[in-house]
């Protein structure tokens, strides 16, 4: 129950949790699979691209 040991434990140290790509909000945002910006830039999921695609554009 040493507070120092708890902080040095990667599973419980807030600093380590933030550095872990799986739990770091910054890394999650940089991950193309979970980054809203990347999802919008993906032609398969970007509403603008879907509209520009003749196969899926209601106007075309």
Is 43 a member of any domain? Answer: yes
Q: What global pTM score does this model have?
A: 0.20
Please count the structural domains in the chain.
Answer: 1
Residues belonging to the chain: 60
**Residues 27, 21 contacting (CB under 8 angstroms):** yes
Is 35 a member of any domain? Answer: yes
Model confidence over 15-46: pLDDT tens digits? 665 666 666 666 656 666 666 666 566 666 66
- Cα 59 to its chain centre, rounded Å, is 33
Is 58 a member of any domain? Answer: no
pLDDT at residue 55, as a whole number: 73
CA distance 39 to 56: 18
Is 10 a member of any domain? Answer: yes
pLDDT at residue 24, as a whole number: 63
Is 57 a member of any domain? Answer: no
Is 60 a member of any domain? Answer: no
CA distance 60 to 53: 8
Is 41 a member of any domain? Answer: yes
Confidence of residue 14 (pLDDT cuts 50, 70, 90): low
Structural domain of 8: 3-52
pLDDT at 7 over 70: no
């Amino acid at each position: 129950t040493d507070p120092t040991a708890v902080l040095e434990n990667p599973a419980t140290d807030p600093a380590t949790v933030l550095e872990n790509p799986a739990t770091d909000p910054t890394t999650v945002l940089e991950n193309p699979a979970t980054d809203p910006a990347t999802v919008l830039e993906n032609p398969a999921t970007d509403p603008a691209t879907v509209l520009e695609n003749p196969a899926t554009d209601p106007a075309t």
